Amino acid sequence: MDYEIELDAHHHFWSLGRGDYQWIRQRLHLSNMMRLARDFDIAEYRGVLASHGVRRSLLVQTERTAAETDQMIARAWAADYVAGVVGWVDFCADDAASEVARRASDPTIKGLRLWLLGDQGADWVFGDTAQRGLDSAVSHDLPLELFPDARQVDAVLRLLAERPLPPVAICHAAKPGVGVWDVRDAEFARWRSDMKRLANVGCFVKFSGVVTECGDDWRLDELRPYWDALLAAFGPSRIMWGSDWPVIERAGGFGKWLDAVRVLASELTAADRRSIFGGAAQAFYRL
């Protein structure tokens, strides 16, 4: 299983000296969060990719600020392995439509991430300014990465049913409860059904960020039911593997996560593995 990986479809950089990234500072009491309380940048990740046989990457926002997206663009220019940036626009601002258009004009920007998870909730995506921003994304055919949790999938499905959208990917598989849910119970069954519903309306999905709250001792057999559900719903052509580095350092690190997904994918054809480890993301983000 020691084969080269074309693309890590989801990773981050950050510099804590900027003064933002409060989501790290506010969670230092949680398991392994201290591992994230430092800077992560270009040179370190170059070494991570090289040591695990990964060729390129997609840099994704973590902060809901224009400043971080600007910084990501600059870092993408400085890192030859970064194939593009998934940035952020304030879809609740009056200038949402023009900001989407401005970002879409930058060839480094391959998509935008709409952050639904957390206190802000998902209702804002139905507001007038957000709708104008979404219209702009449609007119510029700019892919969208929606980041809900498992309880917010109904809102995503409603959005997809009510209006045309550009290509849509579901970030971190809507954060299922790996290591928490009993796969025989209703929570897992609902999530699995929701993944089928999202797949049926044409979404892609990122297999990333699903073990980052499990600590270091999660097991492959805990992960397999979630993998099987996504594979059955989306198929290899619409599953994108991502490391979620450096957040994955909370849960055993890049190598443990990649090795686990390699084991799961070992039952697939070489063509299907190429899709999951790069081809699907290349198609979705037009890399």
- Taking only the tens place, the pLDDT of each residue in 213-259 is 999 999 999 999 999 999 999 999 999 999 999 999 999 999 999 99
Distance CA 91, CA 100 (A): 8
pLDDT tens-place string over residues 4-63: 899 999 999 999 987 788 889 889 998 899 999 999 999 999 999 999 999 999 999 999
Whether pLDDT at 3 is above 60:
yes
122 pLDDT band, cuts 50/70/90, is confident
The predicted pLDDT at position 66 comes to: 95
The predicted pLDDT at position 20 comes to: 81
The pTM of this model reads 0.96
Distance CA 138, CA 238 (A): 20
pLDDT tens-place string over residues 124-180: 999 999 999 999 999 999 999 999 999 999 999 999 999 999 999 999 999 999 999
Q: Which residues contact 186 (CB under 8 A, 6 or more apart)?
A: none
Pairing mode, strands 109-115 and 239-241? unpaired
The predicted pLDDT at position 167 comes to: 97
Q: Give SS3 for 25.
A: helix
- The tokens describing 77, both together, are 């220019």
pLDDT tens-place string over residues 256-284: 999 999 999 999 999 999 999 999 999 99
The predicted pLDDT at position 123 comes to: 87
118 pLDDT band, cuts 50/70/90, is confident
How many Cα atoms within 13 Å fall on the side-chain side of residue 274? 4
CA 201 to chain centre: 19
The predicted pLDDT at position 120 comes to: 65
Distance CA 228, CA 237 (A): 14
1 pLDDT band, cuts 50/70/90, is low
Q: Which residues contact 140 (CB under 8 A, 6 or more apart)?
A: 100, 101, 104, 166
Domains of the chain: 5-285 (3.20.20.140)
